Structure 1
């Protein structure tokens, strides 16, 4: 994880409401690494790429050899992830082989790890329902078993299936640096540099991170594009024996679902996109959207506590400026401005976490940065022993393979006045993040020209939440439009948090009715 990777790279899809309450009730215990249901920033990742289907007309039947399409997964009890618990007995894991380069389907291959829980009502089984929890870089193999209770109703009639996308976890996961290098970066690199020396250190750290990715994972780096994973999805669909793809994508997973629909419109079954990434935004546009979205969520939090949003924002910005000058000691570590910003942002992912933000800010103002640091550790996948998971490595690999943009430090500096005006708390962080992510990446990105259209596809539910900080509501409106008339069906949740399913009873019922009974709601259906 490099210095520029510390904030909200499109989110991991699961709402954090309730997930962090242990930090309130059980002291400040770290999440223990792994892949928490936590956010991830939007750096230079572009939305679904324009690309020709691997079959004429994008029918959903890919031109792959029978040795791949004829695979039958060998489902076995799942092994426990590092530092984690083994899924329950109802879960089985398997591996599917996919081409490293889909342009060379008879060439080298890589494994893609799957996890599945079979439908409980076998007589009324519809098929498989594949999940992607976002990131990019979230491990579906780890996340779905932990989150399965949220989808219990869907699990009656669907086999619940998820996977580690290529470049993630057990699927040829990208690794870029070790724990010692990350700890060193935490101590020495300022993600919002104020001086030429700080800027040089920031850029050097990102260059070192990129070089480490090339050295350790160079073979897979050119092949971690969202379109590559979309083609993997179609192969997985065939291997699972499904005529159509039924899919639930959250946050970055909405990019992946839209990319699949664009490439394979005839393969679309029932698709839901929740917490939707704006398919029309470039690198600066994604950062601008999140600057607006996180400030909007912060304003809503401040209003809920009876504070004036402008005054409350300045109070927090003042704390961050103080931490920039003099970080708070927390044992042998320090709460820096960057880590505090990450800790604040984490709590805005669900309204249930707002009391935690109140407590963490009050403690930091009294000189105790423990809770904000633990919140940052939760996002940064750092456990109490100092071990970091590698989700952020995968995030960068996927984002930079997708986008051909390579913003410079000069371009980031040019964004600062506007972004600071939009958010005194998050603006500088997100402006600099544009240059910190892909500027010195060793692999060319796919495109800057995005096409999310899916002519001929079945109706796709596009669910946006008005108070979503990481994927602001406007992105859902744009995605529904880009998918095309009769394809994108907008559903609005008037509320807070990153994702509507499981948060809004109305939105959850709407999605369940669509998946289970094929009921397509009216465009513009609104849930409070």
Structure 2
């Protein structure tokens, strides 16, 4: 089943670098590795590949600045750095201010894992105009994603069927069918991408970023990580603490949790977001068209999902809106308060037998465009998570945990519990129970938590601060809704983040923005 862990890449689809020599790659935690020098050749960006989501080449920024793209070579296997290489896709917009005030490059990762930074950064680049006065804005497709040795699994037709399956089985026969479908999907990934699957761990991507830092000519890595990007940033800080420059973690993954704990935390987070949506809808001056009270809203949604489990309704032709697709669509709409109006419209439409809007939201989560073509965001997400996460769950494990998940979320508990089977039969062993982000000696890292975050619950920010270690993490709280805080447009959050990245001065510990 889909894994609702995207960041701004999901929002993007729903809302429908200087040539320098490379020195030796160094690590504060590992032996130094000598690599051949390379230069980046920056050119006009092409239109995104299907694996990146398709669409048009990025438009210039306000004021006419053009986006430039390049390819960086990295070792396929960092344990054999002089062996085979892969190409990593990069994008940048050069700093708009005076050269003598330029700090360096600011590298973005927008989450997933599986999101294409090459397509996401241009979509939101204007929001970072203040930061571009002193930084080149840079992002990339991490290994396994998009144009960076992208993982390939099933084809478009197969994916349509896969995402329509019943992902919340009610009996043994349905459980077996789900497990079989997942193993078939995972076997196809192995068949089509066996060479890259062992090498898409977050630790590999962190080493790529240190190589990128050097290729870009920076002494320190300045970084803006969102959602899963906070985990990647934490792993980088652990491996290269003395190379970490100014960094912001927004929409923070709890680095102390194993996959089960993470899924349970998301169940609680999405339920909270649903509660907040229902309260908001019914508190408006006009009548809420999907329920009279917050409980009525949730009761009617639950009734709709139960009915779809028995009989789907027409969605986007020729597909029907199934229970799984509808649940996926509701979850997608809870990522941002800006999407709540689409959720209301979609529910109202579905109550009348038309599932187009909820299916469009579900397609967004799954990386499907209007032409029926899928990006590789789901394939990459599963590949990276399964390479990272050591636990392998069975149907009996999920059965035992269902009561706890249902208590956490009557709406999303089953959906997220059964998602723990995604790595069944995966070809590569997982690396660890959870990432190591301890980073003694690192520069301060600004850790931003959102009290209403559905996908990375607020408590994870404090856990990240504690795990980074003393005098590293500085926590900033946004008392708001949606996944992440900077993209909310809140002036207090923008001011604190921009001030730190531009001047190096973090806000006072415990600052709260409302």
State whether residues 248 and 272 of structure 1, in contact with CA within 8 Å, keep that contact through their aligned partners in structure 2: yes
The answer as to whether partners of 2:27 and 2:239 remain within 8 angstroms in 1 is no
Shift of 1:57: 3.9
| Aligned equivalents of 1:389, 1:449: Cα separation in 2 | 27
Matched residue, 1:149: 126
1:199 matched to 2:175: yes
Give 1:332 shift: 2.2
Deviation at 1:347, TM superposition (A): 1.2
Deviations 1:112-131 (A, max 9, x none): 11111110112311100000
Could you tell me whether the CA contact under 8 Å between 1:420 and 1:426 is conserved in 2? yes
Deviations 1:205-258 (A, max 9, x none): 111111111111100000000000000100000111100000000000000000
Correspondence 1:78-227 to 2 at 5 A: 78-82=45-49, 83-88=54-59, 90-121=66-97, 122-187=99-164, 189-227=165-203
In the TM superposition, residue 91 of structure 1 has moved relative to its aligned partner by 1.2
Q: Is the 8 A contact 1:177 1:213 kept in 2?
A: yes
Q: Secondary structure at the match of 2:133?
A: helix
- Shift of residue 56 of structure 1? 6.6
Using the TM superposition, give the Cα deviation of residue 363 of structure 1 relative to its aligned residue in structure 2, in angstroms: 1.4
Tell me the residue number matched to 1:11. 6
CA contact (8 A) 2:67 2:93 kept: yes
Q: Which residue of the partner structure matches residue 341 of structure 1?
A: 327
Compare 489-498 and 382-391 and name the one that shifted more: 382-391
Find the aligned partners of 1:66 and 1:417 in 2 and give their Cα distance: 52
Map 1:318-337; keep pairs closer than 5 Å. 318-330=303-315, 331-337=317-323
Structure 1 residues 453 and 308, CA, compared in 2 at 3 Å: closer, same or farther? farther
Going from structure 1 to structure 2, the CA distance change for 1:186 and 1:402 (only over 3 Å counts) comes to: closer
Give the alignment of 1:405-424 within 5 angstroms: 405-424=391-410
1:270–1:458 CA contact under 8 A, matched in 2: yes
Matched residues in 1 for 2:478 and 2:411: separation? 26
Matches within 5 A, 1:431-510: 431-435=417-421, 437-503=422-488, 504-510=490-496
Query: Deviations along 1:74-106, whole A, 9 cap, x unmatched?
Result: 111111113411124511111111111111111
C-alpha spacing 1:186/1:457, structure 2 compared with 1 (3 Å): closer
Q: Which residue in 1 is equivalent to 2:285? A: none
Alignment match, 1:275: 251
Partners of 2:352 and 2:150 lie apart in 1 by 41
State the alpha-carbon separation in 2 of the partners of residues 415 and 77 from structure 1: 51
1:346–1:376 contact (8 Å) kept in structure 2? yes
- Aligned to 1:112, what secondary structure does the other structure show? strand
Indicate yes or no: 2:60 matched with 1:74.
Answer: no
Matched, 1:58 2:25: no
Residue 142 of structure 1 and its aligned partner are, at CA, apart by 1.0
Which has the bigger relative contact order, CA under 8 A and spacing at least 6? 1
Deviations 1:115-167 (A, max 9, x none): 11110112311100000010101111111111101111111110000011011
With normalisation by structure 1, the TM-score equals 0.89
- Structure 2 vs 1, CA of residues 15 and 515 (structure 1 numbering), >3 Å: closer, same or farther? farther
Q: Which is further off, 358-367 or 127-136?
A: 358-367
What TM-score, normalized by structure 2, do the two folds share? 0.91
1:259 aligned to 2:235? yes
> How many residues matched?
485
Q: Which of 361, 382, 401 is matched with 2:368 structurally?
A: 382
Structure 1 unaligned runs (5+)? 22-30, 32-53
> Does the C-alpha gap of structure 1 residues 286 and 449 become closer, same or farther in structure 2, counting only changes over 3 Å?
closer
Cα RMSD of the aligned pairs, angstroms, is: 1.7
Secondary structure of the 1:502 match is: helix
